[in-house]
Amino acid sequence: MPSSELTLGIVGSGGDGVITVGDIVSQAAAFEGLNVIKTEAYGPQIRGGESSCNVRIAVKHIEAQADRVDVLVVFNWADYGRFKGEMVPGDDAIILYEASDPTPPPEGIAPKAQRIAVPYVQIATDAAGTKAAKNIVTLGILAGLFNVPVDAMRAAISKKFSGKKAGLLEANVKGFEAGIAFAKTLGTIGDAKRLEYTKGAPKVILSGNEACAIAAVHAGCRFFAGYPITPSSEVLHFLSEWLPRVGGSVVQTEDELSAIGAVVGASFAGVKSMTSTSGPGLSLMTETLGLSAMAEVPAVVGNVQRGRPSTGLPTKTEQSDLFQGVFAGHGDQPRVVLSAEDVETCFHATVDAFNIAEEYQIPVIVLADQAIAQRRETVSPETFKHAVIDRRVPKPEEMAPYQRYKDTADGVSPMSYPGIKGAIYQTNGLEHDENGRPGSMHLLHEKMSAKRYRKLRPIRDKYHDFYRMGPEKADLGILCWGSSKGPVKEAVEAANAAGAKVAAFAPKVLYPFPKAQFLDFQHSVKRILVIEISFAAQFYKYIRTFMDLPEEKVKIFARSGGKNLTVPEVAEQIRKALSQMSHEEVLI
Partner 1 sequence: MSATAPAFTAGDYKTDLKPVWCAGCGDFGVLTAVYRAMAELQWNPWETVVVSGIGCSSRLPGYVATYGFNGIHGRALTIATGVKVSRPELHVVAVGGDGDGLAIGGNHFLHSCRRNLDVTYVLMDNEIYGLTKGQAAPTTPSGDKTKSTYYGNPEPSFDPCELALSVGATWVGRAFSGDVKGTVDLMAKAFAHKGFAFLNVMSPCVTWRGDDQFKAFKAKARPIPETHDRTSRAAALAFTRETDIMSCGILYEVKVPSLIDRLTEMKERARAKQTKEPTTDDIVRSFLPKL
Residues engaged in binding partner 1 (CB under 8 A): 27-28, 30-31, 152, 155-156, 159-160, 202-206, 210, 214, 217-218, 222-223, 225, 241-242, 244-247, 249, 251, 253-255, 257-271, 273, 287-288, 290-291, 295, 381, 384-385, 417-421, 424-430, 437-438
Could you tell me which of 525, 533, 555 has the C-alpha nearest to residue 487?
533
| Smaller CB separation from partner 1, 149 or 477 | 149
| Smaller CB separation from partner 1, 271 or 444 | 271
Could you tell me which of 68, 64, 42 has the C-alpha nearest to residue 53?
42
> Quick one: 583 exposed, middle or buried, by C-beta within 10 A (0-12, 13-18, 19+)?
exposed
Could you tell me which of 372, 332, 569, 371 has the C-alpha nearest to residue 452?
332
The rounded distance, in Å, linking the Cα atoms of 568 and 581 is 20
| Smaller CB separation from partner 1, 327 or 425 | 425
Distance of closest approach, residue 66 Cβ to partner 1, in angstroms: 21
Distance of closest approach, residue 379 Cβ to partner 1, in angstroms: 8
| Smaller CB separation from partner 1, 28 or 504 | 28
| Smaller CB separation from partner 1, 385 or 473 | 385
The rounded distance, in Å, linking the Cα atoms of 206 and 273 is 22
Q: Is the peptide bond before 231 cis (omega within 30 degrees of 0)?
A: yes
**104: DSSP letter:** P
3-state DSSP assignment of residue 318: coil
| Smaller CB separation from partner 1, 67 or 287 | 287
Distance of closest approach, residue 24 Cβ to partner 1, in angstroms: 9
Distances (CA, A) of 69 to 17, 65, 486: 19, 10, 18
| Smaller CB separation from partner 1, 210 or 490 | 210
| Smaller CB separation from partner 1, 426 or 545 | 426
Distance of closest approach, residue 93 Cβ to partner 1, in angstroms: 27
Strands 5-13 and 50-58: antiparallel
Looking at this protein, which amino acid is placed at residue 415?
M
Distance of closest approach, residue 177 Cβ to partner 1, in angstroms: 18
Distance of closest approach, residue 380 Cβ to partner 1, in angstroms: 10
Strands 376-379 and 466-469: unpaired
Could you tell me which of 373, 385, 312, 295 has the C-alpha nearest to residue 339?
373
Strands 509-511 and 336-339: antiparallel
Distance of closest approach, residue 36 Cβ to partner 1, in angstroms: 10
Distance of closest approach, residue 430 Cβ to partner 1, in angstroms: 7
Distance of closest approach, residue 155 Cβ to partner 1, in angstroms: 4
Distances (CA, A) of 229 to 236, 284, 311, 379: 10, 13, 11, 26
| Smaller CB separation from partner 1, 273 or 278 | 273
**400: DSSP letter:** T
The rounded distance, in Å, linking the Cα atoms of 484 and 419 is 46
